[in-house]
Structures are given as structure tokens and as C-alpha cells.
Amino acid sequence: MKEMLEYQKLEIELNKLKKNADNVEAKNVMAQMASYVKDAQNKSGKLESDASKLLSEYETLKANYDKTTDQVNNILKNDVGKMSAEEVTAMFGEVNKLSSDLFMLERKLNFIITNAKQLLKNFEITRNNVKKAKIKHREAKEQLDETIKSYEPKIAEVEKKLAELEKKVDKTLLAKYKTLKSENVFPVFVPLTQDACGGCRMNIPTSRLSKLNADGYITCEHCGRIIYIQK
């Protein structure tokens, strides 16, 4: 029983070391940064598709603008001297209409240019934030690796002790211990505390107490832990 308790103590120590080696804070930062980068990548994809829509809108409007400009230039090539007063009036009417079309097209084009500039700015901001997030992720990863590395020798030492002790402990007790541990009953061995189970605090009947005294240990009927007498 003495070796078995030492074994359990070492396993508790090992669990504590493993828990400390698991740098939760660094892991959280890593997860946050990874999720940010993923979102940003989706956002960049959306910005790219917006930009390509804007470009095609721009090209359509620009073609329209060039065509209208050509129409105006062609009309203005007419020799006014050879035209009747009605023809001249009609011609100026046509030019005026086309001019106002050009004005509207120009406004739309400027609007697109402003939007494109804003898009580009957002794109830059996102790209810079992704860079920062990647740096933070790398730093957190380095911290995590460092923490793990700093605990490695201690963990190895305890694991070695456990392996050595495993050869000495009572095989029956070790088997019981491993079964209960695999069922998430931990610690498996608890001392008798004021005639009660040291794990679940359930009182032990007198008949069971004499069995405990005779055998050195009993199984708690309530929580399944193994109760021993602390010397």
C-alpha cells in the first residue's frame, strides 16, 4: 500500500506538471488570432469581389462616356452655315441632351472612383491587421513551446520514477487503481477520515471498518474509491 500511495502521489504531481505545461493563455491567444485571420481572409475575398464589380461598372460607364463624347464631336463637325435655322436648333438640342448625359456619367464615374479608394483603404487596413495577428500568433506559439519545453525535464523525471515504482507495487492494487482511474475516479486511494470515506465523506458501517482493519483496505460502496487507514 505504501508504494501504491507513492505511485498515486507521483501521478498527481505529473498531472499538475502537465496542466502547468499546457499554457492555456497562449493557446487562447493563438485561437483568437487564427480566427481573426480566417475572418479577415473572408473579408478580403468580399472586398476583391466588390472591387471587380466596381471595375466592370467603371468600364461600362467609361465606354458609354467615350461613345457619347464621339457623338457630340461628330455633330459639331456639321457646317452650321449650310443648315437651316430648324436644323441648327435641333442640333443644339441634341448636343445639350448629350452634354447632360456626359455630366451624369462623369458624376457616376467619380462616385465609383471614391468607392474604389475606400475599398483600397479597407483592404490595406485588413492586410495590416492580418500581419499583426500573425505576429501575435507566432509569439503565443513561441511562449507555448517555451512553457512545454521548460516542463519537459520535470515530466520526464516523474515518468521515470513512476515506471520504476510500477515494478514494485502490488499488482492487484495497481490493476484496481488503473481501472478506477480510467473511470475518472481520482484520486483512487483515499484515507479513512473520522470513520468516513476520505473521498465522498460517506460514513463506513462498523462491520466494514473491521474488514478494513483486517484487509488493510476496502472499496467505498458509495463512490467506488479505495479507502485505506492512514498511519
Site for Zn ion contains 185 (CB under 5 A) = no
Least distance to Zn ion from the beta carbon of 190, Å? 7
- Find the binder of Zn ion among 23, 130, 177, 199 (CB under 5 A): 199
Site for Zn ion contains 197 (CB under 5 A) = yes
From the list 12-20, 101-109, 169-177, 219-227, the region that binds Zn ion by CB under 5 A is: 219-227
- Find the binder of Zn ion among 5, 148, 185, 200 (CB under 5 A): 200
From the list 16-24, 152-160, 207-215, 217-225, the region that binds Zn ion by CB under 5 A is: 217-225
From the list 61-69, 75-83, 93-101, 192-200, the region that binds Zn ion by CB under 5 A is: 192-200
Site for Zn ion contains 204 (CB under 5 A) = no
Site for Zn ion contains 222 (CB under 5 A) = yes
Site for Zn ion contains 140 (CB under 5 A) = no
| CB-nearer residue toward Zn ion: 29 or 197 | 197
Q: How far apart are CA 72 and CA 92, in angstroms?
A: 10
Q: Which residues bind Zn ion (CB under 5 A)?
A: 197, 199-200, 220, 222-223, 225
